[in-house]
């Protein structure tokens, strides 16, 4: 989409606020105030809704907005009766894109929308636009804008969608900071260097400080077997420098941020970057690498053959696979024979190597 000079300036100011070092509480407080400057709105809200327990939390801007005392109870009622249409909409399309009330429930049908009459009309905010920022288990975190007199435009909806990936990234940064602060509070003050996966670097990627756990990760994910202990792996240094270049380029600053992902021995190291004044905090998170089983679909692998190849990758023998799947050893051998043909290999070792390569990376990478 094309932005006016004013919209671009406001968007960049919003992003600068988003990525300031902050915990979750500070992030929520700052984001509603900063979002209110993007375009005119009578109310901006950061929502925390649990769709299972129907717990609700929210932060308003302006803070003095006259919310009804019973507002939390009405929200819980709306969640319990599945009468807040944004959630079914997001579930159906599989993403949390911004949507206006009028996109979901045309004005001619709003007379039959109970929650609209119980919540939005009494608050004098019949026009709204809302987007999902992130889903954390059953908790759904969203940002919404509300007006009294006029609806939001499709262009404003698209602007919010443009910023949504940045919001999601900034939220997860704030969650990481909150977890770090919690961990620090649990560690005795006599421990000078807690084993947390953190590092502080300059804008050029020069390492200033790192915890022991981070240094161990550098050894595992560096290009050589024994990189210098006081240096970041070159790939992380180059990534930090690239992020700084993009941060100074208005065109790139509006693009969704990308964490760095490094793959080694069946695990993935994710690296997040957060500005801290003139330095940058790196937060590391290691997890098992995802397996992209759908990359086998072009080879015509059947559901049962996929079960067999999954057990094969786990190192199971034919007899063990037979016991696990409840089928004869001879049937296992037939499935393996079909797999040999489909992947053009002659033995188990070649099949394992081929399948491992395919499922380790998403298509087109």
Query: Average pLDDT for residues 98-116, to the nearest whole number?
Result: 95
Residue 196 has pLDDT above 70, yes or no: no
Residue 80 falls inside a structural domain: yes
Residue 186, strand partner residues: none
Confidence of residue 225 (pLDDT cuts 50, 70, 90): very low
Nearest to 268 by CA among 287, 240, 255: 287
For position 174, which CATH number holds? 3.30.450.80
Confidence bin at 177 (pLDDT 50/70/90): confident
Of 247, 273, 288, the one marking the end of a domain is 288
Residue 193 lies in a domain: no
Does the pLDDT at position 25 exceed 50? Answer: yes
Mean pLDDT of 83-93: 93
CB-based contact 97:165 (threshold 8 Å):
no
CA distance 139 to 278: 34
Please write the tens of the pLDDT for every residue from 303-347. Answer: 889 889 888 887 888 988 888 888 899 999 999 999 999 988 889
Q: Are residues 158 and 221 in the same domain?
A: no
Please give the residue range of the domain that contains residue 208: 198-288
Q: What is residue 123's predicted lDDT score, i.e. its pLDDT? A: 96
Q: Which of 131, 149, 179 is the last residue of a domain?
A: 179
Q: Strand, helix or coil at 17?
A: helix
Q: What is the pLDDT of residue 185?
A: 62
Same structural domain, 221 and 94: no
Q: Is the pLDDT of residue 361 over 80?
A: no
Same domain? 85 vs 168 = yes
Give residue-wise pLDDT tens across range 117-173. Answer: 999 999 999 999 999 998 877 889 999 999 999 999 999 999 999 999 999 989 888
Q: What is the pLDDT of residue 45?
A: 96
Q: Using an 8 Å Cβ cutoff, are 30 and 20 in contact?
A: yes
- Asked if 138 and 261 sit in the same domain, the reply is no
Q: Are the CB atoms for 210 and 55 separated by under 8 Å?
A: no
The answer to whether position 186 is within a domain reads no
Q: Looking at the 3D structure of the chain, how many domains does it have?
A: 3
Q: 155 Cβ partners below 8 Å, 6+ apart?
A: 1
174 and 41 in a common domain? yes
Residue 191 lies in a domain: no
Same structural domain for residues 231 and 315?
no
| CA 197 to chain centroid | 19
Q: What is the CATH number of the domain that holds 269?
A: 3.30.450
* Whether 254 and 148 share a structural domain: no
Tell whether the model's pLDDT for residue 226 goes beyond 70. Answer: no
Whether residue 41 is contained in a domain is answered as yes
**Interaxial angle between packed helices 5-18 and 154-186, expressed in degrees from 0 to 180 and rounded to the nearest 10:** 10
Q: What is the CATH number of the domain that holds 344?
A: 1.10.10.10
64 is a domain residue: yes
Q: Is residue 330 part of a domain?
A: yes
The domain boundary residue, chosen from 149, 179, 209: 179
| 306 and 253 assigned to the same domain | no
- Residue 51, pLDDT > 80, answer yes
Average pLDDT, the chain: 85
Residues 68, 42: one domain?
Answer: yes
In a domain, 255, yes or no: yes
Question: Quick one: 134 exposed, middle or buried, by C-beta within 10 A (0-12, 13-18, 19+)?
Answer: middle
Q: Do residues 149 and 261 share a domain?
A: no
Answer yes or no: do 165 and 63 share one domain.
yes
In this structure, the answer to whether residues 253 and 316 fall within a common structural domain is no
């Amino acid at each position: 989409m094309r932005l006016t000079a004013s919209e671009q300036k406001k968007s960049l100011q919003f992003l600068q606020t988003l990525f300031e070092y902050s915990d979750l509480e500070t992030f929520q407080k700052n984001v509603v105030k900063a979002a209110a400057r993007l375009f005119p709105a009578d109310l901006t809200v950061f929502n925390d809704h649990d769709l299972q327990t129907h717990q609700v939390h929210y932060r308003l801007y302006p803070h003095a907005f006259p919310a009804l005392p019973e507002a939390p109870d009405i929200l819980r009622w709306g969640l319990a009766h599945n009468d807040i249409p944004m959630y079914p909409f997001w579930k159906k399309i599989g993403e949390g894109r911004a949507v206006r009330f009028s996109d979901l429930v045309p004005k001619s049908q709003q007379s039959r929308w109970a929650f609209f009459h119980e919540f939005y009309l009494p608050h004098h905010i019949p026009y709204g636009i809302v987007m999902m920022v992130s889903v954390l288990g059953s908790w759904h975190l969203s940002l919404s804008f509300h007006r009294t007199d006029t609806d939001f435009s499709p262009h404003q909806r698209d602007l919010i969608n443009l910023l949504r990936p940045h919001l999601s990234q900034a939220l997860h940064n704030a969650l990481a900071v909150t977890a770090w602060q919690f961990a620090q509070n649990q560690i005795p003050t006599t421990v000078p260097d807690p084993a947390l996966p953190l590092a502080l670097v300059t804008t050029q990627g020069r390492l200033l400080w790192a915890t022991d756990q981070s240094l161990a990760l550098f050894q595992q994910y560096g290009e050589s077997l024994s990189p210098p202990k006081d240096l970041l792996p070159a790939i992380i240094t180059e990534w930090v420098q690239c992020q700084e270049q993009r941060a100074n380029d208005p065109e790139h600053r509006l693009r969704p941020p990308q964490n760095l992902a490094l793959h080694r021995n069946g695990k993935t190291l994710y690296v997040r970057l957060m500005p801290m004044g003139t330095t940058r905090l790196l937060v590391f998170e290691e997890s098992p690498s995802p397996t992209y089983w759908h990359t086998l679909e072009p080879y015509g692998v059947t559901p049962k053959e996929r079960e067999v190849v999954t057990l094969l990758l786990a190192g199971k023998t034919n007899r063990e696979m037979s016991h696990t799947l409840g089928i004869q050893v001879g049937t296992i051998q037939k499935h393996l024979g079909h797999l040999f043909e489909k992947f053009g290999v002659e033995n188990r070792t070649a099949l394992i190597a081929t399948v491992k390569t395919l499922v380790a990376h998403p298509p087109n990478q």
